[in-house]
Amino acid sequence: MPDIVLTAQQQRTRKRNLTEKRFRRLCFAAIAVTAVFLAFLVMNLGIKAVPAFTSSAMPLTINVEPDKVDSTAIASGDFPGMVKDAIAKLMPKVESRADRKKLYQLLSGSVADEVQHRVMADPSLVGKDVTLQATLSADADMFLKGQQTSTTKFAGTAPLSLAADGEAFKISAQGHGFKAGEIVLTPTGALRVTETSAEGAKAEALVAPDETGAVAAGQWQSLQFSDGEDSRRTSDLEAVWLQRFTDQGKIQSMFDKALFTNGDSRAPEQAGLRGAFIGSLFTILVTLLTALPLGVAAALYLEEFAPKNRFTDLIEVNINNLAAVPSIIFGLLGLAMFLNFFGLPRSSSLVGGLVLALLVLPTIIIASRAALRSVPPSIKEAALGVGASHQQAVFHHVMPLAVPGILTGTILGIARALGETAPLLMIGMIAFIADVPGRITDAATVLPVQVYLWSTLPEAAFRSRTSAAIIILMIVLLCFNALAIFLRNKFERRW
């Protein structure tokens, strides 16, 4: 019965095709899920990091008063005082000491430092005016970026009637319903709405207006915040000041160079990645210079020269197992060996690099051995056949063909080392280090540890800094991988 046989065959074929289709769909689904996760991660990081790449600043003219700085001892001058005076001049109505301090704190502490730097570089500036772009503090910056609370602004489209009511004021405007907590800015003052009723609202003065009466349409505005004053770091009064500066067109948003040029700092607007970046660079350099020669030499010996016996088998098994050892164990080893036994400097890139070298050594050895093994034996035989010694055959013919594989393995190992945090915690690279390291023996930190450090800090501004640091770390890693692909393609030879 050939028909039945055919049908059974067909059924089997159909079943097989269905299985294959199902398997393909499953594979596609796996890719899709991974892509969704990745997209979510990148978007989330990107959105969070954007604020960290810009900072707010305003031009400020500071009079370097001779009575605040002695031109023979500039370093001990009262530069914060000068900056305080300079910004107070912009807000003449602020008189109380506490308010002036608050006003000064809208600016970053780096402003006074910068004035000091300029005067130290050019002592003739004493007694003159210094104009600079004064960076705002992280809190002010976050407020302006809407990271603290979302602000809704109303332009006064109808005239505002303003009448004194004892200490407080009565306000009303046609077509505008005031809300408690709303801030009304008139040309000379600022009021906070305390009570609302059908015909108007009661408000208290934040900045007393010079005159009462009617305020023309377009001359006033009001701000509503989604969060109450208690739950944000910028008070209503500070918000008023910032709004005034914004209205004067003073506040500018610019690229945040500090993120790239500064070392770590407790003040978010001054905290930068330069220290961690240089630390990472030194550490990786130490790792590369240690792990690459050691790893390649070990791989060469094991693959090409070592006799095959129990001892080399044992070494091989151990190397393979080392690749799977949790990285923190290497940190403990580094702590015991490099710090406690050899007494190398704590927290230094030198020790960090050595620990990471231990960590990536197995990876490099395994990758290099695989690369050496993948060179066709006929090439080595050919070299031996014309009378090359074993070593010549290996170094003239096998090694060059294995280089792309060795490089790829090494760079991927180095990329792993670059992203490693745990072992470095054990050797003290977690300390807060504000200085950019200048030598490999200086205390330093590295990018991933910096990410960890910033992520533990309470200031909201550090949240975006953390995301920015992660993005920069990922870009560095991406560059490493791109380099690996480039080198592999460049050195790849066909036979």
Partner 1 sequence: MNDMTFKTVFTPPQPKILATNPAKIIAEGVDVYYGEKHAIKNLSLTIPDKAVSAFIGPSGCGKSTFLRSINRMNDTIPGCRVTGVINVDGQAIYDPSIDVVDLRARIGMVFQKPNPFPKSIFENVAYGPRIHGLAKDKTALEQIVTESLKRASLWDEVKDRLHQPGTGLSGGQQQRLCIARAIAVNPEVILMDEPCSALDPIATARIEELITELKEKFCIVIVTHSMQQAARVSDLTAFFHLGILVEAGDTDEVFTSPQEKRTHDYITGRFG
Residues that bind partner 1 (CB under 8 A): 307-308, 376, 378-390, 392, 396-397, 401, 493-495
Q: How far is the CB of 380 from partner 1 (least distance, A)?
A: 8
Q: Compare residues 26 and 382 and give the one whose CB is closer to partner 1.
A: 382
Q: How far is the CB of 13 from partner 1 (least distance, A)?
A: 39
3-state DSSP assignment of residue 218: coil
Q: How far is the CB of 373 from partner 1 (least distance, A)?
A: 14
Q: How far is the CB of 483 from partner 1 (least distance, A)?
A: 23
Q: Compare residues 249 and 387 and give the one whose CB is closer to partner 1.
A: 387
CB atoms within 10 A of CB 101: 11
Q: Is the dihedral of CA 308, 314, 315, 321 positive or negative?
A: positive
Residues 6+ apart with CB under 8 A from 255: 53, 54, 55
CB atoms within 10 A of CB 489: 9
Report the b/e string of 339-372 with b at 16+ CB within 10 A.
beeeebbebbbbbbbbbbbbbbbbbbbbbbbebb
Q: Compare residues 176 and 397 and give the one whose CB is closer to partner 1.
A: 397
Using only C-alpha atoms, what is the Rg of the chain?
33
Q: How far is the CB of 391 from partner 1 (least distance, A)?
A: 10
Q: How far is the CB of 372 from partner 1 (least distance, A)?
A: 15
| H helices, E strands: number in the chain | 17, 11
Residue pair 426/356 in contact (Cβ under 8 Å)? The answer is: no
Can you read off the two tokens belonging to residue 337?
A: 């060996």
DSSP letters along 33-60, please?
HHHHHHHHHHHHHHHHHGGGGEEEEEEE
Which residue in 271, 284, 280, 184 sits closest to 225, CA to CA? 184
Q: How far is the CB of 388 from partner 1 (least distance, A)?
A: 6
How, if at all, do strands 168-173 and 201-207 pair? Answer: antiparallel
Q: How far is the CB of 332 from partner 1 (least distance, A)?
A: 39
3-state DSSP assignment of residue 66: coil
Rounded Cα distance between 461 and 454, Å, is 10
How, if at all, do strands 252-255 and 221-225 pair? Answer: unpaired
Q: Compare residues 86 and 393 and give the one whose CB is closer to partner 1.
A: 393
Q: Is the dihedral of CA 320, 321, 324, 326 positive or negative?
A: negative
Q: How far is the CB of 387 from partner 1 (least distance, A)?
A: 3
Q: Compare residues 146 and 400 and give the one whose CB is closer to partner 1.
A: 400
Q: How far is the CB of 428 from partner 1 (least distance, A)?
A: 48
Q: Compare residues 2 and 387 and give the one whose CB is closer to partner 1.
A: 387
Q: Compare residues 252 and 391 and give the one whose CB is closer to partner 1.
A: 391
3-state DSSP assignment of residue 223: strand
Rounded Cα distance between 244 and 128, Å, is 27
Q: Compare residues 37 and 305 and give the one whose CB is closer to partner 1.
A: 305
| Angle made by CA atoms 306, 307, 311, in degrees to the nearest 5 | 90
165 DSSP β-pair partners: 168
Q: Compare residues 84 and 380 and give the one whose CB is closer to partner 1.
A: 380
Q: How far is the CB of 355 from partner 1 (least distance, A)?
A: 37
Name the maximum alpha-carbon separation found in the chain.
115
Q: Compare residues 187 and 377 and give the one whose CB is closer to partner 1.
A: 377
Q: Compare residues 395 and 480 and give the one whose CB is closer to partner 1.
A: 395
